[in-house]
Amino acid sequence: MVFSSLFFLYLFLPLNLVVYYFAKTTKARNIVMLIFSLVFYAWGEPVYVLLLLFMALSDWLISLFIEKQQPHSKMAKLGLVMMGVVNLGLLGFFKYASFVLENIGLVTGHNLGTLNIILPIGISFYTFQLISYVVDVYRGDVPAQKNFATLLLYVSLFHQCIAGPIVRYSDICAELENRRATAQDVADGIWRFCFGLAKKAILANAMGSIADEFLKGENLGSNTALALWVGVLAYSLQIYLDFSAYSDMAIGMGRMIGIHYRENFDYPYISRSVTEFWRRWHISLGSFFRDYVYIPLGGNRKGRVRTYINLFIVWALTGLWHGASWNFVLWGLYFFVFIFFEKLFLSKLLSKDRIVSHIYLVIIVYFGWILFRFENMGDIVTVLRGMFALNGNTFTNFETTTFLKSNLFILLFCIVVSTPIVRKIGNLVRYTYMNNPIARVIYSAGRVVIPLILLLLSTAALVGDSYNPFLYFQF
């Protein structure tokens, strides 16, 4: 089940909210959310609910064990090791076992076969949430949750369980046990959800259709150069709009019931360095690797060489987290190279010119998405060669030009939406005219009417189009 399905929009979510608000106590409402969350997860993969339950139960018991020990004692560290064995062991088995066997076979020349394992939806997200919880208990940052149902609710909340953001237990633990959604919370949540829905159903899906049209595997070698350039641009917009839309909807649904998730995107395409880009893109993942990998490894506290080694490890793991394929590892290390040079000298040069630094960032990220999209190295080479007409292909043709013209407006609109321009104009108008009584009435009416319009437009788009993937479900 995805957020941008008609079943979810017009049955599952409304029913969830109605039943939720009929329940009067936080405890009863938590039971409602837990039941709906487990049903949501089981909708696509009933068997893997057992895996989710097992991991949550294991980490609940381990965290209680750790809390009873002396801080940082050998027994507490043993609990931490047990957590790593359970969480990383299961994540490694389900996500990377076939990848490891395949590469051992390539090195040894022996075909070890494949395990044909179906990847549990969202395992990378909820595993990292459980890891952060147990580590925070070990560090003494949060007390161990005594109620297993509450911890299970934290890790299984359907808002963020299967595609993030990666929510820290410390951020919402108080709200899990005692919360109240104000009228402003509900209004803001509906607005944010409908905005994310439109971003996904109308814009991200449109970009996905263009990317698929121009980046089809069987046509890569013969595609025109212009088609490849536009295809990669559309994919760059799709992956941002798709994933940030999911985060928007998750944050919005959380606000509707009084839970405040942190932001996960901050207009990353306006960045002026790779370092800044990764402070704005998938913020919850970046902060996880910073706090639970980079800093424990020593961060930048043990000299320059050790700092670069730590960064190399973090970016190799960042790439591998996204998928069990070498293209993802290369994608992560690709960004490490530029961050390495930015720390050496490049950041000083980039700080001298805003325009040049922004162009630099856009080019780096743009070509990085080619590594991200294509698992086959031959396809990556074909695309890169084809973009410069080195495959014997032409720059453009009638079909490419015609298709581009018919989609030019939506491409430009998606570029604008990927920047804070619309938000800044809205804020400017709001703060300029809010002293005017008529303007306040119009603004208040807009807060009601605009989400409704976005919902109707999104519904129309979903009814008329069967193309509706969520890219980050695969991670």
In this prediction, residue 116 has a pLDDT band, given cuts at 50, 70 and 90, of: confident
Helix pair 148-156, 123-139: axis angle to 10 deg: 130
Q: Which amino acid is at 292?
A: Y
C-alpha span between 56 and 127 (Å, rounded): 9
Task: Assess whether pLDDT exceeds 80 at residue 104.
Answer: yes
- Region of residue 109 (left: phi > 0; alpha: psi -120 to 50; beta: else): left
pLDDT at 430: 73
In this prediction, residue 466 has a pLDDT band, given cuts at 50, 70 and 90, of: low
Percentage of the chain lying above the pLDDT 70 cut: 97
C-alpha span between 291 and 284 (Å, rounded): 11
pLDDT, averaged across the chain: 92
- Distant-in-sequence, close-in-space partners of 65: CB < 8 Å, separation ≥ 6: 75, 79, 82
In this prediction, residue 446 has a pLDDT band, given cuts at 50, 70 and 90, of: confident
* 61-89: pLDDT as tens digits: 999 999 999 988 999 999 999 999 999 99
* 187-199: pLDDT as tens digits: 999 999 999 999 9
pLDDT at 472: 59
Rounded mean pLDDT of 312-329? 94
Measured CA angle at 389 (ends 382, 206), to 5 deg: 70
Task: Assess whether pLDDT exceeds 60 at residue 473.
Answer: no
C-alpha span between 241 and 247 (Å, rounded): 10
* 205-225: pLDDT as tens digits: 999 999 999 998 777 888 999
- Region of residue 299 (left: phi > 0; alpha: psi -120 to 50; beta: else): left
Q: Which of 299, 33, 267, 262 is nearest to 129 (CA)?
A: 262
Rounded mean pLDDT of 166-184? 93
C-alpha span between 163 and 169 (Å, rounded): 16
Q: DSSP code of 115?
A: -
pLDDT at 118: 85
C-alpha span between 206 and 227 (Å, rounded): 16
In this prediction, residue 164 has a pLDDT band, given cuts at 50, 70 and 90, of: confident
Longest dimension (CA), the chain: 77
Q: Which amino acid is at 22?
A: F
Rounded mean pLDDT of 386-397? 92
pLDDT at 13: 96
Residue 322: active-site member? yes
Task: Assess whether pLDDT exceeds 80 at residue 403.
Answer: yes
* 270-320: pLDDT as tens digits: 999 999 999 999 999 999 999 999 999 998 888 899 999 999 999 999 999
Q: Which amino acid is at 316?
A: A
Element (H, E) at 122: none
Range in 102-111, 184-193, 224-233, 379-388 with the lowest mean pLDDT: 102-111
C-alpha span between 223 and 400 (Å, rounded): 9
C-alpha span between 77 and 66 (Å, rounded): 8
Q: Which pairs from 464-469 meet CB under 8 Å and 24+ separation? A: 465/205, 467/205, 467/208, 467/209, 467/212, 468/2, 468/4, 468/5, 468/201, 468/205, 469/208, 469/242
Residue from 72, 159, 260, 322 carrying the catalytic annotation: 322
pLDDT at 113: 72
Q: How is residue 6 written in tokens?
A: 């008609």
Hey, what's the torsion of the CAs at 279, 283, 288, 291, to 10 degrees?
Answer: 40
Alpha helices in 140-224 (DSSP H): 148-156, 169-177, 183-198, 205-214
C-alpha span between 238 and 213 (Å, rounded): 13
Range in 220-224, 238-242, 382-386, 438-442 with the lowest mean pLDDT: 438-442
Asked, as a colleague might, if the bond just before 165 is cis with ω within 30 of 0, I would say yes
Share of the chain residues as helix, strand and coil, in percent rounded to the nearest 5: 75, 0, 25
Q: DSSP code of 109?
A: S
Contact call for residues 83 and 131 (beta carbons, < 8 A): yes
Task: Assess whether pLDDT exceeds 90 at residue 102.
Answer: no
Q: DSSP code of 113?
A: -
C-alpha span between 3 and 458 (Å, rounded): 12
In this prediction, residue 444 has a pLDDT band, given cuts at 50, 70 and 90, of: confident
Range in 76-85, 393-402, 438-447 with the lowest mean pLDDT: 438-447
Q: How is residue 290 written in tokens?
A: 């910073």
Contact call for residues 57 and 49 (beta carbons, < 8 A): no
In this prediction, residue 137 has a pLDDT band, given cuts at 50, 70 and 90, of: very high
N-term to C-term CA, the chain: 16
Contact call for residues 162 and 41 (beta carbons, < 8 A): yes
pLDDT at 238: 96
C-alpha span between 361 and 146 (Å, rounded): 46
pLDDT at 160: 92
* 34-48: pLDDT as tens digits: 999 999 999 877 899
In this prediction, residue 474 has a pLDDT band, given cuts at 50, 70 and 90, of: low
In this prediction, residue 465 has a pLDDT band, given cuts at 50, 70 and 90, of: low
